[in-house]
A and B are shown apart, each in its own frame.
Chain A
Amino acid sequence: AQKITQTQPGMFVQEKEAVTLDCTYDTSDPSYGLFWYKQPSSGEMIFLIYQGSYDQQNATEGRYSLNFQKARKSANLVISASQLGDSAMYFCAMREGLANTGFQKLVFGTGTRLLVSP
């Protein structure tokens, strides 16, 4: 079963508008973490924002915010005031661990390609 689901293969937004990228997840672990990464055309993976499962407030980092709805198991990324440089691939990922090992790996969604137009 897919643990991280990103249902939007592509999204378009005009410059200066806000955009929401969807992410739903599936886990039975009470302790987990959710990440968003940006991958521009140059290929590197850039960390954007993190939300822990026990965090009471939604995470924010500058123009990025994470709309965390635990009961719905969703962790949508909101980008406010889009810029041309925001055009990239965006990946949602979940940190999950193996019991009693302390090991945690990242599981990724398939990504959403965002195109910001002037």
Chain B
Amino acid sequence: DAGITQSPRYKITETGRQVTLMCHQTWSHSYMFWYRQDLGHGLRLIYYSAAADITDKGEVPDGYVVSRSKTENFPLTLESATRSQTSVYFCASIGGDYGYTFGSGTRLTVV
């Protein structure tokens, strides 16, 4: 099916572990984004990418790393997970009528 696929849907990890959240789009949208959603904050931009091999920081990038070797994939890595990174993570791309299509989200719990 066309769209944005995020995996895993749910993840529990321990403090200090590295974890990677995957995002895959079936279009060829140039721009892709990672947001985190926390109660009282809405969605905040972590990183974005304008094209393959072009990435830049958003509002809350600390503790996260991204890469984009292929247009369709935009993984987000937590190098050493902390409890403050417990959140719901959304991947998005610009496309469609008004631009923005979101994945279904990944609920990450760091224990």
Chain A residues within CB distance 8 Å of chain B = 4, 33, 35, 43-45, 47, 50, 91, 93, 95, 101, 103-111
Select one of A95, A108, A109 contacting B99, CB under 8 A: A95
- B41: which A residues are within 8 A, CB to CB? 110
Select one of B40, B94, B99, B104 contacting A43, CB under 8 A: B104
Interface of B is mostly: strand
Interface of A is mostly: strand
Chain B residues within CB distance 8 Å of chain A = 31, 33, 35, 40-45, 48, 50, 58, 88, 90, 92, 94, 96-100, 102, 104-105, 107
Residue of A nearest to B100 (CB): A106
Select one of B43, B88, B107 contacting A108, CB under 8 A: B43
In angstroms, Cα B40 to Cα A105, docked, is 20
Residue of B nearest to A102 (CB): B50
Would you mind naming 7 contact pairs between A and B with Cβ atoms under 8 Å apart? Answer: A45-B90, A47-B96, A50-B98, A91-B43, A105-B48, A106-B92, A106-B100
